[in-house]
Amino acid sequence: MALKSLKKQRRIQIVALAAVALIVSTVLIGYAMRDGINFFRSPSQVMEEPPAPNEVFRIGGLVEEGSLVRGAGEQVRFSVTDGGATVPVVYTGVLPDLFEENQGMVGTGRYVDGVFEASEILAKHDETYMPKEVVDALKEQGIYQEPES
């Protein structure tokens, strides 16, 4: 009788230990991924609800015509728009070869004091591609036209 009780107690300990290990591993994975998850926002969403200065997110839209200004060194200033709102962007680094005005772009960074400080800029890679999030934001504002095939 004592042997069955000992086996049952050992089984309960193993199940409890496995449950604790599962919870700990889930928390560690979530903690490790927190910086890797960047939410997408359109310029209209950024202007409606400005994110906290320490929040890293992605913004996308069209590079506003006439807004591209190259500063000293590798610093570049431009504005990104979705037709409903415009957000000024500052980026220090080398822009992608295909980056130009009136073209789609996605940037990763922070919104600080009314300016999106980009740490990474991505541009379209061919004549027809535009990131899905950018297309959805532009369609929402009614300024997206399907590319001609």
Tens digit of pLDDT for each residue in 62-86? 898 888 888 777 889 999 988 889 9
Euclidean distance between CA atoms 126 and 98, whole angstroms: 8
Q: Which residue has the higher pLDDT, 68 or 128?
A: 68
For residue 45, the Cα-to-chain-centroid distance in whole angstroms is: 13
pTM for the whole structure = 0.63
Q: Please tell me what DSSP assigns to residue 96.
A: P
Residue 55 has what pLDDT?
87
Closest C-alpha among 53, 68, 71 to residue 117: 53
23 contact partners, CB below 8 Å, separation of at least 6: none
pLDDT, average across residues 114-137: 75
Q: Considering just the CA atoms, what is the radius of gyration of the chain in Å?
A: 24
Spell out the long-range contacts of 66-69 with Cβ–Cβ below 8 A and sequence spacing 24 or more: 66/101, 67/101, 68/100, 68/101
Q: Is the pLDDT of residue 127 over 70?
A: no
